[in-house]
Amino acid sequence: MSTYRNEKYGFEIDLPDGWRITSGFSRVPAVLSNVIQNANILEEFSNGDKQYLNIVVEVMQPEIPPDINELIFTLNALEMHYSDVQFRKITVGGQVHACVSYVINQKGWLKKYLIVLNGYGYALTASCPLVDRNTSVEETWDTIARSLRLLNPIDASVLAVNNSIQARRAIELLREQLQQQVKARTRQ
């Protein structure tokens, strides 16, 4: 195992043997996503065998709970016509988070981990060709996601924001709006 550490966003993850940061031409999609979609892809990793994992980080205060992340992804999946969408939960950092596996264009199998800790949303997206889909691949991805750990303790100011009346109201309003949007989209 090797460890990827990111001081700026205060986390690290463990990578199994054979996994490393991608470089060269394979970095082009990540760079283009950063420019075109205003994404913040920190790094992309690969095991050299058609499996990839990238990490996107964004400030998230108040922190979005797993059920809302699932609603957001449901809307995205409907819009992008993803198939075989399956939601699960994963425990990282002592908290429960949302994760979802799905198929794109009947060619690619992906799993996204929506981890929210200490005022940041860490989206880890793993992928491989659909023909390589199997439980061993998924277990490796789950192991990588579960290894995410913070470099610093949870900030008390983040907890104060999350527990404020304003944040709780905003989260509840967002939940209601997203539920209505999902309901409307699935009726179409």
Q: Give the C-alpha separation, 70 to 68, whole Å.
A: 5
Q: From edge to edge, which strands make up the β-sheet containing 20-21?
A: 20-21, 41-46, 52-59, 120-129, 108-117, 95-104, 83-92
pLDDT at site 125: 94
pLDDT at site 25: 40
pLDDT at site 9: 87
pLDDT at site 32: 41
pLDDT at site 31: 39
The three-state (H, E, C) secondary structure of the chain, written as one string: CEEEEECCCCEEEEECCCCEECCHHHHHHHHHHHHHCCCCEEEEEECCCCCEEEEEEEECCCCCCHHHHHHHHHHHHHHHCCEEEEEEEEEECCEEEEEEEEEECCCEEEEEEEEEECCEEEEEEEEEEHHHCCHHHHHHHHHHHHCCEECCCCCHHHHHHHHCHHHHHHHHHHHHHHHHHHHHHHHC
- pLDDT tens digits, the chain, 188 residues: what are they? 899 999 988 999 999 999 998 864 444 444 344 334 445 677 889 998 899 999 999 889 899 999 999 999 999 999 999 999 999 999 999 999 999 999 999 999 999 999 999 999 999 999 999 999 999 999 999 999 999 999 998 889 999 999 999 999 999 999 999 999 999 999 87
pLDDT at site 23: 62
Neighbours of 115 (CB within 10 A): 24
Q: Give the C-alpha separation, 98 to 115, whole Å.
A: 7
pLDDT at site 70: 96
From the candidate CATH numbers 3.30.420.40, 3.40.1000.10, 3.40.50.1370, 3.40.50.970, the one assigned to the domain spanning 2-187: 3.40.1000.10
pLDDT at site 40: 64
pTM of the model: 0.87
Quick one: tokens of 124?
């880890």
